[in-house]
Amino acid sequence: MRELKFSERGKGLAARRQDKSVAERSFVAAVCVACCALVMLAAVGVGYAQAGRRVAKPKSDPPVPKSAEATAAPVAEPTAEPEKISLLVTGYTSGSMRYALGMADNLPGVVGRRLQDSRRLQITSGGEMTRGEATKRAKNAETKTFIVWIELEGHGFDLDPINQRTRVEDLSVRYIVLEPGTAKLKDQGSVPLRPVRGGVLGTTRRLPPCYPQVTSSFEYAVVYAGIETAERVFRTFSLTSPALCT
C-alpha cells in the first residue's frame, strides 16, 4: 500500500512540474509577442512621422523683376569731326634762285596745294617771309596756327644764272615747322631734288592735273620736291597721306 501511495505522489509532483514548465514557456512566449508588438508599433509610428513631415523645397534665385516697358537701345550719337589743324605756309626765295629757276618762287604754293588734299588741315598762304619773320610771326600768334616755312637752297656752289650751270641734284627744299606762341621747332628737314633725264620733258612725264604742266626738268623737279615736302608735313602731324588733287 505504501508503494502505491508513493507512486501516486510522484506522479502528482511530475504533473505539477510539467504544468509549471508549460506556464513558464507560455509566459516567455507572451513576453516575446509583446516585444514584437512594441517594435512594430514603433516602426509604424516612425513611418507616420516621416510621412507627415514637409519636405523643404530647393532654394532658387529670386525672380528677375520685369520692367513695365522694354528698355530702348541707346541711340549712338554722331561722332564729332575732329578739329582741323591750322597751318600757315610761307617761304623765301633769293633773287638769284628766282632768276635761275622759274618754279622756285612758286614752291610754297606747291606745298600748300598738296597739304590742302587733307581734310584734317586748314591751309592759309602767308606770302613771302624770311625765316626771322616767320619765327616772329609764330611767337606772336594769337591763334593755334603752325608756321610751315620753306626755302629752296643750293649746296656747295654759286648759282650761275647767266650760264645756267646749276644742276638739279645740287638743290634741296629745306622746311621747318614752328609751334604757335613759342616758335619752337616741331619738325625740320631737307628734301633733295631728283634729276629728270633729258633737258625737256616728254609727254609721258606729266604732273598731277591740279599742278601746272611744265616742260623744264628744273621746274618738274621742284614741283615733285614740293609734293614730297608736304608728305613730310603730313607725317609731322601723324596724318594719313591723302590722294593727290582731292
Where are the domains positioned within the chain? 85-236
Q: Give 166-176 pLDDT, tens digit per residue.
A: 678 888 999 99
3-class secondary structure per residue, 223-241 = HHHHHHHHHHHHHHCCCCC
Q: Which residues touch 26 (CB under 8 Å, ≥6 apart)? A: none
| CATH match for 85-236 among 1.10.10, 3.40.50, 3.30.70, 3.90.460 | 3.40.50
Residue-wise pLDDT for 107-124, tens only, equals 899 999 999 999 999 999
184 φψ region: left (φ > 0), alpha (ψ -120 to 50), beta (else):
beta
- Surface-to-core class of residue 113, CB atoms within 10 Å of its CB (0-12 exposed, 13-18 middle, 19+ buried): buried
| Res. 144 pLDDT band, cuts 50 70 90 | very high
- What would the pLDDT profile of 176-221 be if each residue is shown by its tens digit? 999 999 999 999 999 999 887 654 455 456 788 998 887 778 888 8
Phi, psi of 42, deg, nearest 5:
-65, -40
Cite the DSSP H helix spans in the chain: 2-52, 95-100, 107-115, 131-139, 217-236
Question: Which pLDDT belongs to residue 99?
Answer: 57
